[in-house]
Structure 1
Amino acid sequence: MATQRYSVTPHPIETLLTWVKSGEIAIPEIQRPFVWDSTKVRNLIDSLYQGYPVGYLIAWRNPNLRLKDGTISAGKRILIDGQQRVTALMAALLGHEVLTKDYETVRIRIAFHPGEERFEVHNSAIAKDRAWIPDLSHLFAPDAYLGDFVDDYVKRNPETDRKQIGRVLERLKKIVNNHIGLIELAEDLDIETVTEIFIRVNSAGVELSQADFAMSKIAVNERYGGNLMRKAIDYFCHLAVAPEFASKIEKGDPDFARSEFWPAIRWLRDVNDALYDPTYTDVLRVAFTFEFGRGKLQDLVALLSGRNFETKQYEESTAEESFAKLKSGILAFMKKTHFDRLTMILRSVGFVTSDLITSRNAVNFAYIVYLRGRREGLPPDDIERLVRRWYAMSILTGRYTGSPDTAFDLDIRQIETQGLRDYAEAIIASELPDTFWTGMLPQLMETSSAQSPYFIAYLAAQARLGDKGFLSKDITVRDLLLNRGDKHHIFPRRYLQQQGMNRGRYNQIANFVMAQSEVNIAIGDKPPEVYFKEIAEQVNGGPKRYGGITDPETLKRNFEENCLPISLLSGQVPDYETFLAERRRLMALRIKRWFEVLG
C-alpha cells in the first residue's frame, strides 16, 4: 500500500485568512488578475452561510534550501490550489481590492439583506434600499461591534424585529468560524511529484499547467526579484494586446515604473500590432529554453526551487542563479529589436495576419532559433534564413503540436551539442525530402479544415510569392488576406450539396481559392463547366463577367498561381474527386516553390 504523501486538516476560515495576511501561506497568483466574476464571490459567501462545503485548499511548503553559510532555510507554504477562493474571501470579508482582467483595481462589494437572508453583488438599486447592508465587509472589520451594527440597522428599518436581525447577523458573522480543509503536501516530496499533483488537482475545471506553476514560483520569491519579474511578464502580455494600458501602469504602479523592467517594455505603448500577442506561457517557454538550454518547464520549476540537478540537493545558490538566468531570458524576449525582427521575419514568410498564426509553439521556437543565432554570432541574413525555413518546416510537419515540452527539449539540446546551423539544416533536410512534396503532402492536404497547417502554409505561400487572387487582375492574395477576402468554392457549395455531398467533402481545402467578393458573387452557384466556359470566352473577346482579366496569357498565369489545371478552360472539367486530387498535387508544388524561395 502506497504511503500517504499529504495531510488533511480542517482550519477555521479566520485562521486561514490570518495566515495569508501574515505571509504564513503565500498566494502565488496575487499579482495576476482575479478571474472570478462578482456573482461567483456572492455564491461562495452564500454557500458558507448555508453551511455548504466549499472544497479544499492545497498547500505545499517550498523545499528547504541550503544557504551559503551552510544553514537550512525553511520555505514558505505556497497555496497551489484555492487562490481564487481565498482572494474572493479576502475581497468580500476583509474589503481587499482585486485586479480585474483589465488590470483595474476594484472593490467587490457583497450586499446582504437580513430580512430575506439573501446576498447580492452591490449595485445602485441596493445602495438606495435601506433594507440592504451594502457591504458586508463592514461587519467583519476588526473594530465592528455586532450590537452597534444591529442598532444601526433597526434605526434605519424600524419595522424590523431587532432580535431576529441580531440572530441573522450573528449567524452571518460566524461564517469565519466555518472550517475549510487544508491539504498539506509532504515537505519531502520532490518537485516532480508536486508538479504532477499540481497539474492533476483542479477544482475549477481549468487545467493547471507547468507555466502556471512556474509563474507561481516566480511571484512568491521576493528575494531574487520574482515579484517584479512576474509583473513584467503580465504587463508585457497585457500591453501587447492593449497598448493604452501603459498609462495605468505608470500611474497605478509607481514601484514597477521605477524598476528596470519598465524601460524594457514601455515601447509597446506605441505599437498596435496583433500578429503575435504572446501569453505568459509563451514568454516563459522562449526565455527558459533559450537561456537554460532545456525545454521542459517542470525543470524550470525545479531550478527556481533551488534544485541542483548534479547533486540532487536544493541549494540557495541554484535558485539565485536560476532567477538571474530567467531574468536575462525574459529581457531578451521583451527587447524591441528582437521582437520586431521576429514579427518582420514571420511577415516575410507570408504569415501576414494573426489568423495565419495557428501554432504558437512554432512561433516560440522560431524566436528561440532567432535568439540562439544571435548568441552564436551568425550573420543577420543567415539567422533570418534559418528562422524562415525552420518555421515553415515546423508548420508543415506539426513539429510542436503534440508534446511541445518534449520537442523543445530535444531540439534545444541538439542545438547545444551540434550548433544551430548544422542541426537546423540537417533536420530540415530529413523532415522535408523531395518525396514529401510529391508523395506525403498531397495526401495530408485531403482535409476540410481551413485551419489545417497545409492550407495555412498554402495561403502564406501565395502571400509570399505575390500571387493574385482568383480571377483578379491586380488584387493579390496578400491584399485579400489583410482585408479578409473571400474563400471561394471552385466547385460551388450549393452545386455540390445538390449532388448529395456533405460538408466534409464540399469544404475540402483543395476546393478553395482566395477571391474578391464580387468574383465570388458573380460565380454564385453556377456549375463549374458553365462558368469556366464563360471565363474562357471573356479572354477571347466575350463579355466581361468575372474580374478584370481579358487576355489569355494573364488568365493562364492566374490559373497557375491559384493551382488550377489549365484544361478547365478548354471545357475539360473532370469529376469532383479527380479535380481535388489534381489540385492537391498542384498546391503541394506551389508550397514547395514557396519553401525554395525562403532559402
Structure 2
Amino acid sequence: MPPCYSVNSHPVETILSWVKAGEIAIPEIQRPFVWDATNVRDLLDSLFQGYPVGYLIAWRNPSVRLRDGSLSEGKKVLIDGQQRVTALMAAVLGYQVLTKEYKLTRIRIAFNPLSRKFEVLNPAIEKDVTWIPDISEAMKNAANPFTVFKAYCAQNPTVDQEQVMQSITDLLAIRNNLIGFVELAHDLDIETVTDIFIRINSKGVVLNQSDFAMSKIAASESYGGPMLRKAIDYFCHMAVAPEFYGQIAERDPEFAATDWFKKMAWLKDENDDLYDPSYTDMLRVACIAAFERGKLSDLVSLLSGRNFETRQYEDEIAAESFVRLGEGIMDFIKETHFQRFLMIIRSAGFIAPGLIRSQNALNFAYALYLKLRRDKYDPAVIERTVRRWFVLSLLTARYSGAFESQFDSDIKRAKEGDFSEFLAQTEQAVLSDSFWSFGLVQELEKASTNSPYLNLFWAAQVKLEDRGFLSRDITVGQLIAHQGDIHHIFPRDYLKKFGMKQGAYNQIANFVFTQSEINIRIGNKAPKAYFAEALEQCAGGPLKLGGINDRVELENNLIQNCIPGASLDLEQGDYAEFLKARRELMAQKIKTYYNTL
C-alpha cells in the first residue's frame, strides 16, 4: 500500500517562513507556553551543536470543495512540535509568548561567542559585553554575519577575532540547520494518526483526540476558529481562577469585546469547584449536545467538512459545523444552563467534587441536560431525568471502558424518541432486583475510601439528610462540606491488634462519617465498649460520645448509618458477619435513595 505520510528534513528558516506565511498552523501559539526559558536555551544549544531535536509532525487539512466547485487546499496543522516551533519563533524571530498567567512576554536567549554558550538573559549577562544579549537581534542580520561581528568586536577589542567570527557564523547558521518534518496524509483517520504519532514519538506521549479538535479549531481562521478556541480556553481557565477575568479584559481587548466574554463574565464571582471542566470536557459535551454524536473523531471530521455519505470534504459542511459547535459551546458557558445543571447534581447529594469519580458521567449528564432543554422538555422532567441518568451511570459504571461508543449509542436513543422512556427501559434492564440484592452488595465488598459505590452511599446520606454517626444534630452533608472524619466502626487500631491488614480493616462497610471529637473519644475501643458508653448517656449518664441522650434517637441514628441492630454487642470475632449485614443495608439505602430521585 502507498505510504500515508512523507518524511523530509527542512531548514529552520523554511519552517519558520511557513509559519509566518500561514502555511503551517500552530494552534499552541495562542495558548500558554509551558516550556521554561531554560528549555528554549537548551533547544538552541542542541541546534547549535548539530544535535537532533526530534521530528515535527503535521497533518494536512483536507482540501475542501467550495460552492463554486473549486478546491481550496488545506493548511498543514502542526500536531506535534508546537512547543519547539514556538520556542524558535520566540528566540530566533523575537515573537512574544503567553505565560501560564496569559501574559505576553519575550524570552530572550543570550549567546557568548567566546565560551560558545547560551543562557537565558538576566541582569548580570545584560551588563556583560562579552555576551550577545538577544540572539533574535543578531538573527536579523543572518545574511551578513560581518555586521554582527563588527558590532561585537567594537565592544570587545581584545578578543580573538577569528574565534568570534566562527562562533557568530555558527550561531547564525542555526537558521539553516535541518529539522525532521513528517507530513501525514489528509485522508487518514484519527486512530491511524494516533498510532503513527505514538510510533514516531520516542517519549511515548499519547495524542488526545481533543487536541486534534482544538488544533482544527485554531487553524480555521475563515470560520472564526481562533476566537472560538480562545473562548474554550479562557472559560476553562476562569472556572479554576476567577481572577483571570480582569487579565483577559486588560490583555485581550479583542476577545473582551465579544459575546463570548460577556457570556462567561459570571465566572469572575464564582468559586464553586464542583465541575471545573477542561477543554476536553467542553468539546465532549458540545459534540454530544449539538451534533448528537459521541465520538470526538466525528467532530474533527465535521469541522474538516466531511460528508459522511460521499466521503468528500465540503466547505458548506465545515462552515455549518463551526456554527453548530459555536452554539454548543455558547450553551455550555451560559450561566443559567451551568448553574441549573449543577443544582440538579447537588440535589442528588453530590455536593463536593470528591464524591464524583466519573467525569464522563458528569459530561454526558450535562450534554443530556442541554439536549433535553433544547428539545423543550418540561423543566421538571429534565430535572428528574438528568438526575436519575447521572446516578444510574455511576451505579453501573456505564461510561468506563469504551465510553465514546456508549455516548454515541445513548445520545442516538435520545435523538430517536422520548428519553424518559429510554431511561425507564434502561432501569428495567440494568437495575433489576438481583442488582440491588447481589450485584451492588458485591461492589461494596472492597477496601477503598475512593470507591464510587462508597461515594454513592455518602450521596444517599446527603440526599436523605442523615445525621453523622452518633451525631445528634450534624448531618453527613455538613460533615462532607466541612471535611469531617471518615471513621472505622471497628476502629483500625483495634483490628490491627488482632493482626488484621489494611485490606481487612479498610473495608467499605467499615466506614462512616462522624465528627472529629466523636472519632477521638472512640479511639481504639471495640464497638461493644463504646456503644456501652452511648447507651449509658442515653440512660442519664454523662455525655461522652456526641449529644445523643435518648435510646430511640440512638437507634434511629444507627438505622440512618446502616448499622446492624446487633452491633451494640459486637467484638472482633463478629467483624466478618457485621460487614456482610452492613453491606446489605447499605445497598438497600442506595436503592431507597435512587427511588427518591
Report TM bin, short chain. Answer: over 0.9
> Is 2:165 the partner of 1:166?
yes
Say which SS state the counterpart of residue 381 (structure 1) adopts: helix
Tell me which residue corresponds to 2:425. 426
1:523/1:129 CA distance change after superposition, 3 Å: farther
Q: How does 1:55-66 map to 2 (within 5 A)?
A: 55-66=54-65
CA distance in 2, matches of 1:191, 1:441: 37
The CA distance in 2 between the partners of 1:108 and 1:425, in whole Å, is 59
Within 5 Å, which residues of 2 pair with 1:31-46?
Answer: 31-46=30-45
25-34 or 311-320, which moves further after superposition? Answer: 25-34
Amino acid corresponding to residue 345 of structure 1 in structure 2: I
Q: Partner residue of 1:301? A: 300
Report the secondary structure of 1:94's partner residue: coil
Asked whether the equivalents of residues 361 and 394 of structure 2 are also in contact (C-alpha less than 8 Å), the reply is: yes
- Return the alpha-carbon distance in structure 2 between the equivalents of residues 585 and 460 of structure 1: 17
C-alpha spacing 1:575/1:569, structure 2 compared with 1 (3 Å): closer
TM-score calculated relative to the size of structure 1: 0.95
Instruction: Find the aligned partners of 1:95 and 1:544 in 2 and give their Cα distance.
Output: 72
The match for 1:348 is 347
Structure 1 residue aligned with 2:87: 88
Corresponding letter in the other structure for 2:246: S
Question: For the Cα contact (< 8 Å) 1:138–1:144, is it kept in 2?
Answer: no
Change (3 A) 1:193 1:548: same
Q: Summarize the Cα distance change of 1:559–1:200 in structure 2 as closer, same or farther, 3 Å threshold.
A: farther
| CA–CA distance in structure 2, aligned partners of residues 134 and 502 of structure 1 | 62
The amino acid that maps onto 1:271 is E
Structure-1 residue corresponding to 2:139: 140
Equivalent-residue separation in structure 1 for 2:570 and 2:48 (angstroms): 77
Call closer, same or farther: CA 1:581–1:571 in 2, change over 3 Å.
closer
Give the whole-Å Cα distance in 2 for the aligned partners of 1:493 and 1:541.
30
CA separation of 1:191 and 1:313: change in aligned 2, threshold 3 A:
farther
| Cα offsets for 1:384-433 (capped at 9, x unmatched) | 01111011111111111212211100101111123211112211232212
- Identify if the C-alpha distance between structure 1 residues 124 and 486 changes in structure 2 by more than 3 Å, giving closer, same or farther: farther
Aligned to 2:246: 247
Query: Are residues 190 and 394 of structure 1, via their aligned partners in 2, closer, same or farther at CA, if it must alter by over 3 Å?
Result: closer
Provide, for residues 61-99 of structure 1, a one-character-per-residue CA deviation record: whole Å limited to 9, x for no partner.
211111100111111111121111111111121111111
Residue 121 of structure 2: aligned partner: 122
The aligned residue for residue 3 of structure 2 is 4
Unaligned runs of 5+ residues in structure 2 are none
Structure 1 counterpart of 2:484: 485
1:572-583 to 2 correspondences below 5 Å: 574-583=573-582
Q: Which runs of 5+ in 1 are unaligned?
A: none
Mapped contact 1:65–1:316 kept (Cα < 8 A): yes
Deviates more, 1:266-275 or 1:110-119: 110-119
> How many angstroms apart in 2 are the aligned matches of 1:200 and 1:372?
39
The letter of the residue matching 1:516 is Q
Q: Distance in 2 between matches of 1:330 and 1:28?
A: 18
Distance 1:132 1:538 in 2: 80
| 1:310 maps onto 2:330 in alignment | no
| Separation in 1, partners of 2:70, 2:570 | 87
SS at match of 1:313: coil
How far did residue 510 of structure 1 move? 1.3
Residue number in structure 2 paired with 1:517: 516
DSSP-derived class of the 2:27 partner: coil
Match of 1:466 in 2: 465
Report the alpha carbon displacement of residue 359 of structure 1 after superposing the two structures with TM: 1.1
Aligned equivalents of 1:502, 1:571: Cα separation in 2: 20
1:30 counterpart SS class = helix
Q: Which residue of 1 aligns with 2:322?
A: 323
**C-alpha deviations, 1:495-541, integer Å up to 9, x for none?**
22232222222212211111111111111222333222222222222
1:37 is aligned with what amino acid? D
Letter aligned with residue 583 of structure 1: R
Secondary structure, aligned partner of 1:59: strand
TM-superposed CA distance for 1:449, in Å, is 2.2
Contact persistence 1:200–1:208 (CA under 8 A)? no
Native 8 Å contact 1:195 1:213 kept in 2: no
The CA deviation string for residues 419-470 of structure 1, in whole angstroms up to 9 with x for no partner, is: 2111122112322122211111111011222221101111111111111111
Equivalent residue number for residue 435 of structure 1:
434
Identify if the C-alpha distance between structure 1 residues 37 and 351 changes in structure 2 by more than 3 Å, giving closer, same or farther: same
After TM superposition, the structure 1 = structure 2 runs for residues 11-50 of structure 1, keeping only pairs within 5 Å, are: 11-50=10-49
Matches of 2:7 and 2:572 in 1, distance apart? Answer: 72
Q: Does residue 443 of structure 2 align to residue 444 of structure 1?
A: yes
Matched residue type, 1:223? S
In 2, Cα distance between equivalents of 1:474 and 1:490: 19
Alpha-carbon deviation of 1:196?
5.1
Structure-1 separation of matches of 2:124 and 2:485: 48
Q: Distance in 2 between matches of 1:335 and 1:404?
A: 26
Aligned counterpart, 2:78: 79
2:106 maps to a residue whose letter is: R
1:8 shift after superposition: 1.0
Query: What secondary structure is seen at the aligned counterpart in 2 of 1:243?
Result: coil
User: 385-394 vs 205-214, which deviates more?
Assistant: 205-214
Secondary structure of the residue that 2:247 maps to in structure 1? helix
Q: 1:128 to 1:391 in 2, by over 3 A?
A: same
SS at structure 2 position matched to 1:98: strand
Alignment of 1:126-205 (within 5 A): 126-142=125-141, 146-157=145-156, 160-189=159-188, 193-194=192-193, 197=196, 202=201, 205=204
TM-score scaled to structure 2, two decimals? 0.95
Contact 1:8/1:184 (<8 A) preserved: yes
CA contact (8 A) 1:202 1:208 kept: no
Cα distance 1:322–1:429, how it changes in 2: closer, same or farther (>3 A)?
same
Whether the 8 Å CA contact 1:539–1:549 is kept in 2: the answer is yes
Shift of 1:333: 1.0
Shift of 1:53: 0.6
Kindly state the Cα deviation for residue 369 of structure 1 after the two structures are TM-superposed: 1.7
Give me the whole-angstrom Cα distance separating, in 1, the residues matched to 2:66 and 2:166.
54
In the TM superposition, 1:387-402 aligns within 5 A as 387-402=386-401
Query: Contact 2:57–2:183 (CA<8 Å) still a contact in 1?
Result: yes
Residue 219, structure 1, aligned to residue 218, structure 2: yes
Tell me, in whole angstroms, the C-alpha distance in 2 between the residues paired with 1:115 and 1:57.
Answer: 32
Counterpart residue number, 1:362: 361
1:316 CA drift (Å) = 0.9
Q: What is the aligned partner in structure 2 of residue 536 from structure 1?
A: 535
Between the aligned partners of 2:119 and 2:574, the Cα distance in structure 1 is 64
Where 1:8 maps in the other structure, the secondary structure is strand
Q: Distance in 2 between matches of 1:575 and 1:117?
A: 75
Change (3 A) 1:498 1:50: farther
Question: Does 2:285 align with 1:286?
Answer: yes
**8 Å contact kept, 2:141–2:148:** no
| 2:229 equivalent in structure 1 | 230
Partners of 1:536 and 1:570 within 8 A in 2:
no
SS at match of 2:92: helix
Question: Contact 1:369 / 1:420 at 8 angstroms: preserved in 2?
Answer: no
Displacement, 1:481?
0.7
Select between 424-433 and 211-220 the one with higher mean Cα deviation: 424-433
Residue type of the partner of 1:21? K
Number of equivalent positions: 597
2:376 match: secondary structure? coil
Cα distance, 1:66–1:281 mapped onto 2, change above 3 Å: same
1:19-61 CA-partner distances (Å, limit 9, x unpaired): 1111111112222222222222222112112211111111222
* 3-state SS, counterpart of residue 7 of structure 1: strand
RMSD: 2.0
